[in-house]
Amino acid sequence: MSSISPQINEGWKNLLETEFRAPYFALLKDFLVQERARYVVFPPGKQIFSAFDHTPIDKLKVVIIGQDPYHGKGQANGLCFSVSPGISQPPSLVNIFKELQTDLGIPVPKSGNLEPWAGQGVLLLNATLTVRENTAASHQGKGWEQFTDAVIKTISENKTGVVFLLWGKYAQSKEALIDASKHHILKAAHPSPLARGAFFGCKHFSKTNEILRKQGLSEIDWRIE
């Protein structure tokens, strides 16, 4: 990953070029090189920017904000809350699918891979894009948050009518980066079991589609095969 030319969707690359050239990003790159020399880091290098590659800026309609990639072997695939095919669904994702079933009657899928959402314009953005194996929060405070905050600001400035789904206090702390006069913000508790079911009943999936429909945009097909 070059501090000047990371492997990322061209549209995003052009919009974020200032960030890639910033001193903090060079330090982040150096940190990742050192980490990979000593530890296993997730997701694999080619998937670090998967969220951007699957959801180009010109197709973006919805943003879901997570915090950290999953740190178990084979789990993280560069999309927040998503896991690679064949990997068991983590508890937060199980609860997301439960709410989806209650909200829209969509059966709970076998796969936890959310690429079908990303391909329809749902940016699945973690605030921190990498993590050390079996060590939660190990790459926080190293520069990723500065980068992803810039991503949220860039979306706010360059798009209109985007639906931001802010689940939990951490995601809701990003609300200040979003121009609420031109975008839509839906807030709910985190889907983690630690929230004791407070996420259930938010109906964010049907509400998102209603907002998109009123704007004359195609709805998200939330089904995962």
Beta strands in 129-190 (DSSP E): 131-132, 163-167, 184-188
Q: Read off the amino acid at residue 182.
A: K
Active site amino acids: 68
- Beta strand pairing call for 184-188 and 163-167: parallel
Nearest to 52 by CA among 112, 100, 10: 10
3-state helix, strand, coil in the chain (%, to 5): 40, 10, 45
Strand partners, 187: 166
Q: Which residue, 28, 14, 17, 93, is CA-closest to 56?
A: 14
